[in-house]
Each structure stands twice: as C-alpha cells, then as structure tokens.
Structure 1
Amino acid sequence: MNKLYATGLTAALILAGLSPALAQGQRPAEGSGYDLGTRQELVRQLETQVAAGLAQRTTPAVTLRVAAGKAFSGQVNYREDLDKSGEYVVGNLAGVPGSSFQLRIEGTTVEGNIILRASHQAYRYSADARGHVFVQAVDINKVVCIDYNKPLGYRDPAPAGGAANRAAVVSLQSYPGARGCILLDTDGYALPAGTGWNNGNAYNAPSANMTDANVQAMWELVSEDFRPFSLNVTTDENVFNAYPKYMRMRCVISPGSGPTIANGAGGVAYLTSFRNNDDTPCWVFMSDPKSGGEAASHEVGHTLGLSHDGRISPSEGYYTGQDNAGAWAPIMGAGYYKPVTHWSRGEYNSANNQEDDLAIMAGATYNVGYRPDDHSNGIAGATNLARNGAGLSGNGVIERTADQDYFAFATGGGTVSFNVNTVGRYGDLDIVARLFNSGGGLIGTYDTQGGGNLNVSFSASLGAGTYYLQIDGTSSGNPATDGYSDYSSLGTFSISGSAPAPSGGVATMYRDCSYDGTAVALPVGDYNLAALQARGILNDDVSSLTVNGGYQVVLYENDNFTGGALTVGASNSCLVNNPLGTTNWNDKTTSLRVQTATASFSRQLEAEVANVNNGMMVEGCTDAGGGQDMGYIDAGDYLVWNSISFPTTGTYLIEYRVASGANGGTISSDLNAGSIQLGSTAIPATGGWQNWTTVSRTVTINAGTYNFGIYAQTAGYNVNWVRISKQGAARTAAPDKAEAAQAAAILEIYPNPVADKLYLRTEAVQVGTQYRILNAYGKTVGSGTLTNDSVDVAELPTGMYTVVVTSPGQPTATRRFVK
C-alpha cells in the first residue's frame, strides 16, 4: 500500500450519507446516476492520472465526471494505492472554493462524494451488482451539515490562559460502561491526513482554551441530551480510546479551527459517520457552554443519522423554536436561544422534518440503544425511597417517552413534602409527579406549568400507611404553536422530601434467635452496612426478625445490597438453617432493605418449621421425589406457622404437598387458632407415604398478619410443604433440596453482577431448553428458549434476580444474579 502526501492514516473515511444497499452492490434506480464504467476501469483511470502528475512533479489531478457534459478537476491531496484493484483519493476541486471530494474503491465497495458548499451541491458515488460505478446528484444536507451558523452576536468567553495551563482537562464521564462513547475534545487535536476535513490534509486544531468550569458546564448539557441512550459522554481521551472506532465519536471543540474546517459555521459533521470505522470527528467552533454545548449535541446527532429541523413556511433550514409558554427549540434546529431543547419528531407547525430522532439514534444501525430502565413502571416492584429519619430521597432517569418510575414510602401520618428536580442547569426532563395510595388510587397530580419550569414541589396530608410516588416526563403548552409534547421530555431526576416515619418501624432486627438480644426497629428504607452500624446493628449479627403485615425485608450477605439475598415476608424466629433460603442465614446479613410487600405474593411454608400440638414428629427421612425433610401429622394434629403476612386483601391460593397411606382424608385450614375458618380440603389416597400429591383450595383473606394453621381432621399425612400465593400472581415453586444441589453443580453464570448479556454454562442446554428470569418477588420478568449461551438482560432494572433453566430430561437449574 502506497500513501502520498501524508502519513499516519489508520482508516479511510467511509463517507456519510451513503446508501448501505448501494455500497453492497445494488444498482441505483434507473436514470438516477451517471455511469462511469466498471470499478476496474475507474481505478485504472485514477492511477494513470495520479502517476502522470507525479512524473511531472506536480500535485496530481484527476477528472471527476458527473454527467456527459460536466466534469470537475480534482486536486489530489491524499492518496492510498489500495491492495490489488483499489484506490482512495481525497482532495478539492480546482477553482471551486469551499469544495472537496473523496472516492474510495476497494473490492466490491465504492463510496464517496463531491461537495460544493458555496453552491449547495453534492454528488454521491455508488456501484451496482455488475460492478459499474455511478455518480448522482444528492441533497447536500444528507451528506454534511452546512450553514449551521453561530448565534447572532456570538462572542467566545474570555480564554482560560495559555495552552500550557490547559494541558490537563478535567476527566468526566456520564455513563461509564455504556455501549458507545462521545468525546468532547477541548484541549486541541491533531487531525490526521486522509479524512474528509481540510481537503484531506492533516491539521493541528488549537485548544478551545476553556476553563474547567466551562468544560464541566458544556459536558453537563451534552450528557443530559444523550442521557436516554447507552452513550458515555466523556472528556477523557483514555476512556474514548478504550472503545472500538465504530462505537465512538470525537467532537472537537476548537473556535480557532472554524476558518480552516468550515468557515463561518458554528459546527459541522458528516451524517451517519458514527458507525464508520475511521475516527473522522465532528466539529464545534464555539467555547461558550450553552452555544457550544447545543452545537455539540446537534453535530453528534448528525453523526447518528439525524437531519435538520426547519420549517416549510417560512422556508428555513433551522427552526429557532417556540415562544410564549414553550420557550423551546429542537436540538437539530438552532437551540441557542431557548432554555429547553429536545430531540424532535416535527410536531410544531410547518415542520419540514418529521423523522423520529429517538428511534433513529437508538436503532440497530448504530448499536447504541437505550439505557436499561432503572425503576419499575408500576406499583408492583416500586423502588423504596431511602429514609434517614424523616428524610426521604431517591433518583433515576426517564429513558423513554412511555417510561414512568415508581417509588414507595411509608409514613406514620401527617404532612409529607417532596421536591423533584432535574439537573441544575440545561435540563431536558419536564417533571410531573403523581401520588398514589396503597391500593393504587390516585391522590394527586403535581406539575409546574410554563416553559423552563421543569421541577415540581408539593405537600400533602396523609394518614399512616404506604404510598407510591410516580415520576414521569410531561409536556408544556401546545407542541404545534407554543410548547412541546412529552416525546423527548427525558433525563435525570432526583427526589428529596420528608414524611413522618412509621412509629417504631415496620421491621425489627434481633441479635439472637427467638426475638432475643439487642433489638432495633427499622422503617421502610435501604440500609447498607454503615447505615446498620449507625443504628446499632453489627455486621453478620442478625439472627431473627419481625415484619409487620404489608412489608418485607430483603437480607443481603454483602455490603451495598450485593451477594446472596433472602426475602423475608413474615416474622422469623431463627435464621439458623432457614428453610426460605438454600443456606444458613444466621449471622450473615451485611446490608438489607425494608420494603412494602407487592401484590405478587408467594410464600412456601415448610413442615419442619411449624409448631404442632400433640407432639408432631419431625423426621429426617429422604423424599425420593425431592429430598425435603418431612413432618408427619396424625388425625387431630394441628400445625401452626406464626406471623404470616398477607400484603393485600383478596383471593389467595393455598396448596398442600402431602402423602398418605392407603386411605385419603381431610385437612382444614384457619387463621389465628381457628378464629377465621378457611374451609376443608379433601386429600386423595396416594398409596404410600412418599407418593406425593398436591391439592389446593381458594380462599378470601383480608390484608394483615396472622398465625396460619392446618388441622388433620381424619387420617395421617406426611407434609412436605404448604404454599400460599395471591391468585393470578406469578409464583415459583422452590426446587427440592436434592434437585437444587444437582442443578447447582451443572449451571454456571457470568458475569455477576451483569450489565447487558448474562452468559450461561450448563450441561443441561439442548434443543428445547427453556429459561425464565424471576425478580426478587418471584415474578417472571423474562422467558424464552435458549438458542445460544447468553440471555439479554439489558432492559432489566437494577436488582436481584434468579435465572431458572429447564431442559427435557434434566433437573431444573437455578442461579441468582445481580443486575
């Protein structure tokens, strides 16, 4: 490979705006382009013309014909002689100011363009299936951003100081670990030769000479614009370089480069260039945080496939936005003059572009996608607000138009107050908050009207109980005339507020079994190790706990809610050999969450932890069908499980797994020592003490905490387990111990914690293997057939999950993981 006039090119520019179909060899539409002959013929022509120029020791020139009677003379400033039958040339048109051209022929790929900025003309190269090359006129706005000028009267801020003082830029990241990356490059950039900029010549762009404060402010604006997506906006070159070239975009902030790269412009970019594998940057020629930040988002938007937002009448290329209540403008218009700017789908009057900005950028073309949803979109699974005394707090991101984030909190009754705010400056999210009672009834909607009024504050007088706070994006004014819809009202929010704590807390942790030793009552909230220690609870020192009705406690074996987890929905007198988990949970808790119970309720009660009259025997025998320890009850025996919480009033399903001898019989169930009768269930003859059957009955139970009991009216039984679940709610039977032990040996998952893809390694995977993903409440949140060794979990909210793998003829395999 020979390179002329420049060195150091790592990958040639793949020109923006090209039709992928044409680049792969489909013929252009009939009459849509001028036929330049075959690829081989065009390469020979270019090579001959370049060689002639070199032989005469002049700058080579090539003929760029665009029609039968029209051709340009292209001055070649950079050339690569590609292997075998390829050629890449970049330069400008002789005698045409503000012009440039690029043409790359390699294998079956032909791509390139000719740009005449002064006359607003452009041509594009492509090839058909026969190998013929075509050139055709195209809309210049589909190739490169033009005429995107600086704001009226713009002046750059005073410089920060000499270049030596700006050598190190503050390192900022908006979303570490995101799929893609945007670099705001403010400290100068050495543009290599061979790109579409500066007619293919190398160029040293000067530093923007910005203060750290202005770099931070610009980064904040651009970060919030791209917050819905899996994009890490950074100022750190090392972070940027860790991403592959086709998943990153450098935005050079360099006011001094305007005359060289795009004279008079506020910024410039090649459309769709984010996906190219060549590191061609986009440019911004302003260092003011607001103007430069708006331009940076605008130009990066171009690289992700977006076109300009203007108007048909009056005819204008860049819409400067709505007035009056809205005070809004589209990012792909000119957002310099409005406090709120959004991605748009052309909902304002006379819009000339109604493309769906969000869908284009999040689409498969750029492999970026949306951020994973961080909070539940409903009351079931609502995130508990963190509590410190009466104080409540939380935060999140509204990632999509339909996203609604739910939070739960408990109060002892009285006035509750909340402030819900987006970012301190350059916010996109216009917030509406809604307050619901424990049954899901709407108490109030809170929205501060008026363009630029993005935040919400409110107070309400509430009785003691559990409530839910919904955060959503909203609209302002009329999107057609003086405002905007909630389409791109997206971004960051934070919640701060206060609510009187429930008296005495809703869950009490005890140092010893049997509710003995040091006792600490906790209200609803999240408690890491530091928070527990501040309340007198030591690490690995919880042995029993009580839980009020309508609440549950999630225990974690590691700090900050990581490691193994156990959800306790009722009081537990001793966590030694606790049957709710697969291991001993005594003195194991390092962090915990006290939560409101959800409607998805399922509780499995093991026979060996029940209290019994008449001397029930707890037998350590083996169940061939599952391996559980069993309890035997004779006629007249009564099993009691203390403090079972039923979170909501409604219909519950009670199931029994039992075995009987030759004759069947009857079991009845009740609450609080028979004060509430739940009726009788007939048990069929199973023909043996280890021939198991499951029977059930449906009952109505009011919300509350009860002692639940079953009574053997006739005959005798081995009782394996009793399960109570809210009818209609998803529920999952816990695997038997022997089965779980075997499954544990054949299923490995990684990484754990996981961000996007969860990989599974198991002997059980074969044709027909199914998987389910259960959240912390036992609700199925994902399922399907395993077609390879991974499961996509990118859309799951942060939390603890269980993956269950079932394959024909194999034991069920389960593993917990953290998202």
Structure 2
Amino acid sequence: MYKRRSLALAAMLSLAGLTQAQPADLANALSVDIGSGEQVIQALRDQHKGARTTFFRTLGADSLAVHIKDFFDKNGQVSISGHALGNANSVFFLKGNSKKLHGFLALNDGRKAFEYSSNELGQVTVREVPYTKVFPDFEEKFQRDYALAQGVSTLAVAAPTYSPMALRQAPHIGPYANQDVTKLESKPGSPWVFYLNTAAVMSGSTPLNGVSKEQMYRAWQSVADQYSMLNMNVTTNRTVYDAARAANTLRTGIINFVNQDGRSFAPLQSFGTTSAGTLYRNPSAGFDYGYGIGMTGAHEVGHQMGMSHDGGGSGGEYFEGIAAYQWGPIMGNYWMGGSWANQLFTWSRGEYSTANNQEDDFRIMTVNESVPYVADDNVSGKALALRAAGEINPQDNWGQIERNSDSDVFNFSVAASGVLNLRIDPIEYLRMLDVDASIINAAGQVVARSNLAVNRSAEFKNLQLGAGSYQLKVQGGAEGTPQNGFSNYSSVGYYAMQGSLTGGTEIPATPLSSGVPQLNQSGATGVWSYYAISLPSAASKLTVAVKGSNGDADLFVRKDSRPTTASYGCKSDGSTSAETCSITSAAAGTYYVGVYGYSAYTGLSVTATVTP
C-alpha cells in the first residue's frame, strides 16, 4: 500500500512535468505544477524515511530531484532541507504547511535556481528564478568590492568605540571580558536561536589566523546588537543550537564561518531550516575582523531572515547611506559608512527618496518569520535610581527601546530646587539607537529635550529644575526627514545614563507592615521594585518572603539604604519567584526590600514579618 501510493504520486507528478511550457529565458520563466502541498510534503517525508521512489521532476533540461537531509514536522508545520540529488554543491529547503509552502533549489555550479511556492488553492508550483534571488550577494557589485572600487581606503575605516556606560547590562553589551567565545549567548533560554558556527575558524577555544578572542567576541556581539529587539538568542554554542533545533527547527538558523577568503552569502528566507549561510574571513580586506565580519554577519543573517537588499541612488543594488547623517541601512552598502565616527546602521522600510525596496524589515522578521519582539522592560515607568550625593549611575539606570512605538519613563522628584546633569548613550557596539530624551514636569509640559545631532546620545547640562515631580522620557530618535535622513523606524536598542541630580529625591519605597502581604506585584526584566519596613526597636528576626508562580523575582534586603545585587544584608536569588531571606538580631531602623526582575513576573506577593 505504501509503495503503491508513492508510485501513484510519482506518476501523477511526472505527467505534470510533461505538460509544462518551456520558453527560453527567465522573462517567461519555466514552471511546473508538482501537486498539492499535502502531496509534496508526504512524498518528501516518505523519501526521507527511505522510500525507494525518489521525488523526481524535471524543468526543461534540469532535474528537480532532491536528497532530503533534514525533515522536521511540528503540528503540521514543516522544515525540509537537503540538496539536489547527486549534487552536494547545491541547496534545497522548503518550509510551511500543506496550505502554504515556500522554498528554493539552487544549483551552485551552474548558477541556476528554482522557487517553490503555493497558490491560493494550495497547489505547489516550481519556476526558474535568477540565482541572485536565492543568493542576493552574488550580484556582481558585491558590497565590499563596490566600496573598494569607489576608492574607499581600508585605512579610513573606524571601528565603533564602546560607551563608558556599556557595563554588561545585557550579555552582549560591553567590551570583551575573557568570555569563552565558543559559548556566547545573547538571550540565554530563548527558544528562538541563531547559531554562528565558528568551528572552522577556531582551534578549540582559540581563534585561527592570528585573530584575537576579542575580535571573535565583537563579531558575535555585532550580530547580537542588530537583532537585540527580537527574542532570539544569537549564540556560538553548538549545544544550545542543537537543543533548539531538536525542539523546533522552524525557530532556528545557522551561518557557517569559513576559514578562507571569499564572497560571503546566505540563502534568502532560510531561517527555520538547516540550510546555512556562509561567512568568509577575508583578512586581506584590511577591515577590523570583529567589526567587518560582524557587519557582514548581520547583513547575511538578514537575508536568511527574509530581507532583500536596500538599494537606490548611486549605489544601485546597495544604497550607500546618507553621509550628512552618518546613517545607512544594514542591508545596503554598510562599507561606505565605515569611516563615519558616529555611524548608525539600521533596518529599513525604504523611506529615503531613492529607495528601490520598501520591504518592512521588522514585519518580515516578526510576522513572516514569527520571531517575537522582546518584552517591554519599562511598561509603566521606573524610579530614577539615585546613589549618594544624587549620583545617577549607568549600572542602575538603563533600558531598551524594543520597537519604534516604545518609550521609557523614569520618575523622580525635586524637593526644593535641583540641577540635572545627565548624558544618555546607546550602549550597544554596532548600535541602532539614536537617543531622544525629554524632561517633563507634573503638568505634562516638556521642560527640556535633547537629541544630539549626528551623535546618537542625548545630554542635559546644568538644567535648573524647580520643586516638583518629573519624568525623564527616552525614545528612539530621528534626524533630517525620512526622505533625506532617517526616521525612528528602527531606532531601537539599549541605552544607559550617567550624571547627577542635586536636590533630587527618589520615588518613595512602598511601605510594608509586619505580616501583611503586598499582593499582585509585577515587574519587568531588569527592573527593581522597592519596599520598606521600619523597626522602632530591635527584633530577634526579620523575615521577608516573595511568592509567585511565574517569572524569576530575586529578593534582597538591606538596612538603612536600598539594596543592590552587590550590597545587601540578605538575599535569595534562586531560579523561581519563591524566595525567602532573614536577618537575625535585627537592629532598629528602616529595612529596604528590593525585588529584582531577573525575568518578568506577575501576581507576586511581598511579605515582611518581624519576630519581636
């Protein structure tokens, strides 16, 4: 029965091949209907299981027979990868479901390509397409070659510098600190994983060819920066990738580093399959390895996620950016902006006047590829944290603009009169965020605003503030116009702030009474919530407990000042939101309870109990 069904399907699809039209060029491309999505999936599933009948079709003089290496099916959603039968120098991938399938077969030796797609009835058609539709970076004017042909000196390229505020607010932020570069993860625990396979350019944990570990770290870091708005773990850890791929291949991607010079490329829309991109080392190019390979990696991963080139202007296929604003799309010719001191490379939807591609990059990643944005880390406002003498420290005060509709608010008060000195920096290495900040008073009036031109930071110097309550609002900025400049479309990323506020006061901690829980507390990842309980006289014990059924809330307690992760009287920081810590022989005074959102939590209770 099994064999008879396969042979029947083979016969039916062979007949379809006999009736195809066969024009001579791609303007009237060859095409063939190969059956319903359900039939195609079943035939490839059978073949992967070892069926004797190969799924064999022809299109003109070309065979469409494929060898299936990986077949993944989760609730009817499939990811199928392999290569042309008998031709290892090729790539085949197909993903979707019985109603909607899409993928490509590319024959690298002959530079031929075929696209698989479903119509509205679920019937699958294969048509010949230009090879560059599958591998866009085989277009003749490749980015790096084009830039060099225009006389861009390799000596003029300036790698980004780290903000002094980049202090590991997230795993991918800050300078190299002797991490194992084969175990890097930008968002540990996320089920969406993109694997940078560096095995071919490493000897164990040591890079080859004189490349430093710091450069390898910055190559990974640059890719992590460009995708930090997504809940996707960019990793160099093979074990993490293998586990994610086994759980759901459709949530994974892979690009292979290659230990030779060459033209980096990646198959379009191959995220969610095991078909990999290829990233060559190119040490002779003269560009910094970490910066250059990182930018190229972000660009090629972009193709795998579904983005085509952003072209226009004199750059043709690769838009060269707008020098006056030191901005360019990462899917354009990023090499042309290599010498800009404050370069900003972002995703795009083709708003500049000469754009030839109006694809919405964020929609492609989050809707087409179903990779979600990260959760908002500042939903309803945070307190601006002040240390001694009104110090505003970047370890306490930072956040992330996750999308262009996001804005973060920090609340503070001034008792009588105050002076604010504050700088807000983007803190990612290959940044996308242009900081726009405002100070707003209790009446909702904007007291001051800053968005430094071609600088990416915001700054307030000696800003005089009268008594009252204020908000600091941080959002993604824009410069010029969308047609000649850039909008805040993809002005997203991490930021931190540093400075001082004289005469300022923090938002009061929520008071606690012994044995009375504060119910239904919630907090975002990376956010502190503070509570306080006063002991008028010494007690034998102070016990503080938090209880919740989701997220990971960590508990810290300290006498007379707010606790931090480094300064506390007791702490409990397990992997859940059920934590308890106690201080014995508690002296009289005010005890501050800090609850830190290691991961976002809701429905938490906070209880402090005094034992007389």
Does the TM-score normalized on the shorter chain lie above 0.5?
yes
2:229 maps to a residue whose letter is P
Match for residue 419 of structure 2? 415
Q: Cα 1:341–1:115, aligned 2, differ >3 Å: closer, same or farther?
A: same
Amino acid at match of 1:337: M
**Structure 1 SS opposite 2:335:** coil
Structure 1 residue 128: Cα displacement: 7.8
C-alpha displacement at 1:29, in angstroms? 13
Query: Which position in structure 2 is the counterpart of 1:305?
Result: 306
Instruction: Confirm or deny: 8 A CA contact 2:560 2:590 kept in the other structure.
Output: no
Q: TM-score, normalised by structure 2?
A: 0.63
User: Post-superposition shift, 1:491?
Assistant: 0.2
Give the AA of the match of 1:385: L
Give the counterpart of 1:460 among 446, 460, 463.
Answer: 463
**Deviation readout 1:85-115 (Å, 9 max, x if unpaired):** xx99734999xxx984649899989976453
Q: Which residue of 474, 498, 510 maps to 1:496? A: 498
Q: How does 1:685-700 map to 2 (within 5 A)?
A: none
What is the aligned partner in structure 1 of residue 83 from structure 2?
90
CA shift in 2, pair 1:295/1:385, >3 Å: same
Q: Which residue of 2 aligns with 1:188?
A: 200
Partner of 1:332: 331
Query: Could you say if the C-alpha distance between residues 321 and 92 of structure 1 is closer, same or farther in structure 2, counting changes exceeding 3 Å?
Result: farther
The equivalent of 1:273 in structure 2 is 270
Go from structure 1 to structure 2 and tell me whether the alpha carbon gap of 1:28 and 1:127 turns closer, same or farther (over 3 Å shift): farther
Q: Indicate if the aligned counterparts of 1:557 and 1:588 stay in contact, CA closer than 8 A.
A: no
| Residue correspondence of structure 1 range 26-175 to structure 2 within 5 A | 34-35=31-32, 65-67=58-60, 71-72=61-62, 90-91=83-84, 100=90, 102=92, 113-115=104-106, 121-125=112-116, 134-147=125-138, 148-150=142-144, 152=148, 169=181, 171-175=183-187
Q: Conserved in 1, the CA contact under 8 Å of 2:20 and 2:31?
A: no
Q: Which amino acid aligns with 2:344?
A: V
Match of 2:279 in 1: 284
In 1, the alpha carbon distance for the partners of 2:268 and 2:474 equals 35
How far apart are 1:500 and its partner, in Å?
2.4
| Residue 330 (structure 1) shift | 0.8
For residue 227 of structure 1, what is the amino acid of its counterpart? S
Other-structure match for 1:532: 559
Deviation of 1:235 after TM superposition, in Å, equals 2.4
2:347 aligns with: 343
- Amino acid of the residue matched to residue 480 of structure 2? G
SS of residue matched to 1:274: coil
Corresponding residue for residue 776 of structure 1: none
**Partner deviation per Cα, 1:584-612 (whole Å, 9 max, x = no partner):** xx99976148xxxxxxxxxxxxxxxxxxx
8 Å contact kept, 1:126–1:135: yes
- Unpaired segments of 5 or more residues in structure 1? 1-26, 48-60, 158-165, 191-205, 259-263, 520-526, 543-555, 566-585, 594-751, 756-797, 803-814
CA 1:181–1:154: 2 relative to 1, 3 Å = farther
Query: Cα 1:559–1:28, aligned 2, differ >3 Å: closer, same or farther?
Result: farther
- 2:217 is aligned with 1:216: yes
Q: Do the aligned residues in 2 keep the contact of 1:406 with 1:469 (CA within 8 Å)? A: yes
* Equivalent residue letter for 2:418: G
Counterpart CA distance in 1 for 2:511 and 2:125 is 76
Kindly provide the amino acid, as one letter, of the partner of residue 146 in structure 1: D
- Aligned residue for 2:392? 392
Q: Mark the runs of 5 or more structure 2 residues left unpaired by the alignment.
A: 1-18, 23-27, 48-53, 72-79, 159-177, 284-288, 338-342, 515-532, 540-553, 581-587, 608-612
Q: How big is each residue's C-alpha offset from its partner over 1:784-818, in whole Å with a ceiling of 9 and x where there is no partner?
A: xxxxxxxxxxxxxx46547xxxxxxxxxxxx899x
2:190 corresponding residue in structure 1? 178
Q: Secondary structure of 1:171's partner?
A: coil
Distance 1:37 1:318, change over 3 A: closer
Question: Given residue 484 of structure 1, which amino acid in structure 2 is its aligned partner?
Answer: F
Distance 1:370 1:499, change over 3 A: same
**Aligned-residue offset at 1:213:** 0.8
Q: Compared with structure 1, are the counterparts of its residues 294 and 28 closer, same or farther at alpha carbon in structure 2 (3 Å cutoff)?
A: farther
Judged with a 3 Å threshold, the aligned counterparts in structure 2 of structure 1 residues 189 and 290 are, in CA distance, closer, same or farther, namely: closer
User: Does residue 1:429 correspond to 2:438, yes or no?
Assistant: no
1:246 aligns with 2:250: yes
Q: For residues 318 and 400 of structure 1, do their structure 2 counterparts lie closer, same or farther at Cα, with a shift above 3 Å needed?
A: same
How many residues get paired? Answer: 468
Deviations 1:245-271 (A, max 9, x none): 322222222241x5xxxxx41x21112
TM-superposed deviation, 1:432 = 1.0
Q: Which amino acid aligns with 1:225?
A: Q
**For residues 273 and 294 of structure 1, do their structure 2 counterparts lie closer, same or farther at Cα, with a shift above 3 Å needed?**
same
Shift of 1:476: 1.8
Q: CA RMSD in A?
A: 5.3
How far apart are the structure 2 equivalents of 1:285 and 1:485?
A: 33
Which residue of 404, 417, 422 maps to 2:407? 404
Aligned 1:782-801 pairs, distance under 5 A: 798=600, 800-801=602-603
| CA 134–184 in structure 1, closer or farther in 2 if over 3 Å, else same | closer
1:57-110 deviation digits (Å, cap 9, x = unpaired): xxxx9997433xxx147898x67799xxxx99734999xxx9846498999899
Between the aligned partners of 2:510 and 2:95, the Cα distance in structure 1 is: 73
Q: Deviations over 1:401-431 (max 9, x none)?
A: 1111000122332211111111163221100
Alignment of 1:437-452 (within 5 A): 437-450=441-454, 452=455
- Summarize the Cα distance change of 1:250–1:63 in structure 2 as closer, same or farther, 3 Å threshold: closer
**Distance across 2 between alignment mates of 1:511 and 1:454:** 43
The amino acid of 2:271's aligned partner reads F
For 2:529, the equivalent position in structure 1 comes to none
The 8 Å contact of residues 330 and 344 in structure 1, kept in 2 or not, is answered as yes
The structure having more radius of gyration, on CA atoms, is 1
Where in structure 2 are the equivalents of 1:712-727 lying within 5 Å?
A: none
Encode CA deviations 1:318-347: one digit per residue, 9 max, x unaligned: 112112x21111111121232210000001
Query: Matched residues in 1 for 2:271 and 2:499: separation?
Result: 42
Amino acid at match of 2:322: Q
Give the partner amino acid of 2:304: T
| Contact persistence 2:412–2:505 (CA under 8 A) | no
Deviations 1:619-666 (A, max 9, x none): xxxxxxxxxxxxxxxxxxxxxxxxxxxxxxxxxxxxxxxxxxxxxxxx
Kept in 1, the 8 Å contact 2:434–2:457? The answer is yes
Amino acid in structure 2 at the alignment position of 1:150:
R
SS of the aligned residue for 1:251 comes to strand
Tell me, what secondary structure is at the counterpart of 2:144?
A: coil
**Displacement after TM superposition at 1:395 (Å):** 0.6
- Name the counterpart of 2:487: 485
Amino acid at match of 1:383: K
Q: Residues 121 and 139 of structure 1 are in contact (CA less than 8 Å); yes or no, is this contact kept in structure 2?
A: yes
**Could you tell me whether the CA contact under 8 Å between 1:62 and 1:73 is conserved in 2?**
no
Contact 2:187 2:234 in 1 (8 A): yes
Match of residue 372 from structure 1? 375
Deviations 1:529-588 (A, max 9, x none): 465366899xxx99xxxxxxxxxxxxx9967996699xxxxxxxxxxxxxxxxxxxx999
C-alpha separation between the residues in 2 aligned to 1:562 and 1:341?
Answer: 39
The one of the two structures with greater contact order (alpha-carbon pairs below 8 A, sep at least 6) is 2
